[in-house]
Structure 1
Amino acid sequence: MSKLVTLENANLSVQISRNGAELHSVYHKQHQQEYLWQGDKEVWGRHAPVLFPIVGQVEDGFYEVDDVKYKLPQHGFARDMEHKLITQDELRCIFELKFDHSTMEKYPYKFVFRTIYEIKGSKLSITYQVDNMDMEDIYFSVGAHPGFNTNFIPNTSFEDYVIEFSEKEPFERLLLDNGLRSGAIEHDALKGEHILPLTFETFKDDALIFDHFKSEYLDIYAKHYEDRRLRIGFKDWPLLGIWTPYQKRADFVCIEPWYGVADLRDENHDFKEKYANQVLHKEETFSATFTVEIIDNED
């Protein structure tokens, strides 16, 4: 059985792996162009990992629930587990990950986690759903980590591109210290602008993490060719990470909508008090959707 599941219409061919329910390809047929980073172990070997039940790091590699310690690696375990394909047709598929003995050793809650992919025209929608199967409230974070190519216009590379947000607003950036939040906040991080030119130096201190923003989407496009854009929609997502590996000088940028964020340095390890963690009551379902759309004004 192939590990890859394919969705296809007249515009897009999208591939998703059962391993981690991870997006592997967003290929636009008319452009004959791959828009998703294809992975390179020397740079960054992933494509678009799914982050659950944490986003980022927990300090010292562990957290506590009711005074019991649990260990979790960065971004949780969902990205490294095989997800069951529940349903599939040409335009839509659903993957599912259920709690089991191995997850309960790392995360003490009973859950069902679904990832739903659907294409329509030149737009891909990705939805994460969490069902509380426990007898009590459960706590979690969830997020996306897709990498997008920054060479989708011929003869361009990373620093030829910009990110344009849908709103001009005073972006608050949460600063990092070796993968954890330092507690410092850079106010008005874009200096009143809504366009961020992509430069490698921007990422010398790790990812940009924006909190409390109004923008509902952003566009990635080449400065000298604005008609073709990659639009990432993240309406109602509370946090957004933007990242590329600073020293690698690679042609991709990750756009990461999050419900959750890394621990604050020197904070207590209580998972129920973790900033931006979600609380889901018994028998309730959490759902969040983001979109990836290829826009070509010449079409």
Structure 2
Amino acid sequence: MSRLVSLENAVLSVKISRDGAELHSVYHKQHQQEYLWQADKEVWGRHAPVLFPIVGQVEEGYYEVDGVTYKLPQHGFARDMEHKLVTQDELSCIFELRFDHTTIEKYPYKFVFRTIYEIKNNKLSITYQVDNLDTETIHFSVGAHPGFNTNFVKGTSFEDYVIEFSEQEPFERLLLDNGLRSGAIEHDALKGEKILPLKYNTFKDDAIIIDHFKSEYLDIYTKKDTSRKLRIGFKDWPLLGIWTPVSKNADFVCIEPWYGVADLRDDNHNFKEKYANQILETGKTFSATFTVEMMDDE
């Protein structure tokens, strides 16, 4: 049985792995271009990991729920587990990850976590759903971590590209200290601009994490040729991470919509008080969608 599931229409060919329900390829047929980072292990060995039930790190690798201690690696366990393919047709598929004895040891709640992929014309939609199967309210974070190639126009590379947000607004950047939030905030991180030039030096202090913003999408493009753009839509997502491994001079950037964020350094480890965690009542379903669209100027 192939580990990869394929979706295809006249414009796009998309591949997703059963391992982690991770997106592996977003290929545009007319452009003859792969838009997703292809996981060079010497640079960054993932394509687009799914983050659940935490985003980022919990301090010292552990957290507490009702006085009981649990350990979790960075970004949680979903990205490293096999997800069950429950439905598939040419244009869509649904993966599920259900709680079991191995997840209960790391995360004390009963859940179903779904990842839904759907293509329509030149757009890929990705939806995360969480069902609360527990007898009590559950707490969690969820997020995306896709890497997008920054060479999709011939003769260009990373520092030729910019990110343009849909709105001009004061962005609040949450600063990191060795993977945890330091507590410091850089206000008006874009200095009143809508455009963030992609420069390696911008990421010397780790990922850019933006809180409290109104933009519903961003475009990635090169000013050398603005006719082709990659649009990432994330309406209603509260946080956004932007990252590239600065020491690698890599030709990709991760655009990461999040419901959740890394722990604050020297916090109290109480998972129920974790900043930006989602709270879901018994029998309820959480759902969030982001989109990837390859665009050409008419």
CA drift at 1:105:
0.1
Q: Which residue matches 1:134?
A: 134
Is 1:289 matched with 2:284?
A: no
CA distance in 1, matches of 2:25, 2:217: 21
CA drift at 1:219:
0.1
Name the aligned partner's letter for residue 196 of structure 1: L
CA distance in 2, matches of 1:223, 1:191: 20
Name the aligned partner's letter for residue 280 of structure 1: L
1:182-235 residue CA offsets vs partner (Å, 9 max, x unmatched): 000000000000000000000000000000000000000011111100000000
Q: Which residue matches 2:87?
A: 87
Helix, strand or coil for the counterpart of 2:127? Answer: strand
CA distance in 2, matches of 1:197, 1:154: 19
CA drift at 1:262:
0.0
CA distance in 1, matches of 2:42, 2:183: 31
CA distance in 1, matches of 2:225, 2:86: 41
Q: Which runs of 5+ in 1 are unaligned?
A: none
Q: Which residue matches 1:159?
A: 159
CA distance in 1, matches of 2:211, 2:227: 29
Q: Which residue matches 1:188?
A: 188
Q: Which residue matches 1:169?
A: 169
Name the aligned partner's letter for residue 86 of structure 2: I
After superposing on structure 2, the runs of 4+ consecutive aligned residues of structure 1 that deviate more than 4 Å are none
Is 1:228 matched with 2:228?
A: yes
- Please report the TM-score for the alignment, with normalisation by the length of structure 2: 1.00
Name the aligned partner's letter for residue 92 of structure 2: R
CA distance in 1, matches of 2:10, 2:20: 27
1:53-75 residue CA offsets vs partner (Å, 9 max, x unmatched): 00000000000000000000000
Helix, strand or coil for the counterpart of 2:105? Answer: helix
Q: How does 1:7-156 map to 2 (within 5 A)?
A: 7-156=7-156
Q: Which residue matches 1:275?
A: 275
Number of aligned residue pairs? 298
Q: Which residue matches 1:218?
A: 218
CA distance in 1, matches of 2:223, 2:164: 11
1:235-287 residue CA offsets vs partner (Å, 9 max, x unmatched): 00000000000100010000000000000000000000000000000000000
Name the aligned partner's letter for residue 228 of structure 1: R
Name the aligned partner's letter for residue 129 of structure 2: Q
CA distance in 1, matches of 2:196, 2:130: 33
Name the aligned partner's letter for residue 11 of structure 1: V
Helix, strand or coil for the counterpart of 1:2? Answer: coil
Q: Which residue matches 2:204?
A: 204
Q: Which runs of 5+ in 2 are unaligned?
A: none
Helix, strand or coil for the counterpart of 1:232? Answer: strand
- Please report the TM-score for the alignment, with normalisation by the length of structure 1: 0.99
Helix, strand or coil for the counterpart of 2:6? Answer: strand
CA drift at 1:116:
0.1
Root-mean-square deviation (Å): 0.4
Name the aligned partner's letter for residue 221 of structure 2: Y
1:3-43 residue CA offsets vs partner (Å, 9 max, x unmatched): 00000000000000000000000000000000000011111
Taking every aligned residue pair, what percent have the same amino acid on both sides? 83
CA distance in 2, matches of 1:201, 1:169: 23
CA distance in 2, matches of 1:142, 1:86: 20
